[in-house]
Structure formats: structure tokens, C-alpha cells
Amino acid sequence: MNAKVHELLNAQINKEFYSAYLYLDFSNYFEERGLDGFANWYMVQAQEERDHAMLFYQYLQNENQIVTLDAIAKPEKKYSCDMDVLKAGLEHEIYVTSLINDIYAAAYEVKDFRTMQVLDWFVKEQGEEETNANDLITKMELFGSDPKSLYMLNQELAARVYTAPSLVL
């Protein structure tokens, strides 16, 4: 495996674990606000991000590459309202998409087709992640100011369950 591709994939493991921490922080924020459905939604997001990290981890191991684990940064941002959290989530997903695209570009440059094939799943996944984050913002803009509607949205988000990714490495 190309050294740059290996370095970027290894770094992505840490970024995905950070994403899980960030979403746990979001979940904690909403739990403290009494919005257990929103807390659940972000708890599921955290589980997904952890599994994304493990997919990169497993891929590197399958390719006989050394995995180096780094410290995971603590999310430091404080939020003044619920919408700030949702917008931070979308901003973060856009950032992660750029990271995946950077890895893909590096793999493409050295014709690492196997890595590109694995990354195809992540490219699709990031499209879904950005859509989900956008949809949540739209729903909050439409319903968040009305207590009854916010309650119903919270109930909808409480119903979300975790489904493990089905990527064969």
C-alpha cells in the first residue's frame, strides 16, 4: 500500500473515533435538555461512527498494514441552542466527506483500486449522512419552535435503532 494512502487511512480511524465522541457529546447535550429522542438519534450516530473507525481498522489489518492509534480529542464546543448542535453535526459531516474524498484522491493517484472500492461505500455513506443531517435541520426549522411539534419530532427520533454497516472488506 502506498505510504500516503496508508497514512490517510490510519488518520481516518482517529477522525471516526472523534466523530463518535462528538456525537456522544451531542447526545449528552440533548439528554440534559430532556430531549431523549434527539439524544437517542445522536447515540446511534456515535455507534455508526465507531463502526466506521473499525471498518478502516479492519481494512488496514486485512492489508497487512500497521495500525497506529492516536489520542482522541475531547469535543470542546459549547452550544447555545438545539439548532447550533444540529448545524455543527452537518458541518462535521461535510468535513468528514472532504476527508474521505482526500483519501479517495490519493488512492486514485496511485491506482490503489482495492482502497478505492472500499472507499466507494464510504462516499455513498457520507452522502446519506449529509442528507440525514440536513433533514434534521429542516425538521427542526419547521417544528422546533412549537412545543407539541418538538415533542412529536423527539418521539420520531427516539424510534431510531442502530443497524450495523454491511461492508465486506
Residue 136 domain flag: yes
| Residue-number span of the structural domain to which 111 is assigned | 3-158
Predicted structure pTM score: 0.93
Residue 168 domain flag: no
Helix axes 82-109, 36-62, angle to 10 degrees: 10
Residue 166 domain flag: no
The CATH number for 64's domain is: 1.20.1260.10
- Report how far residue 112's alpha carbon sits from residue 99's, in angstroms, rounded to the nearest whole number: 17
Asked whether 13 and 53 are in contact (CB, 8 A), the reply is yes
Residue 43 domain flag: yes
Q: How many domains in the chain?
A: 1
Question: 6-10, 78-82, 150-154, 158-162: which has the highest mean pLDDT?
Answer: 6-10
User: What average pLDDT does this structure show over 15-37?
Assistant: 97
Residue 164 domain flag: no
Asked whether 93 and 133 are in contact (CB, 8 A), the reply is yes
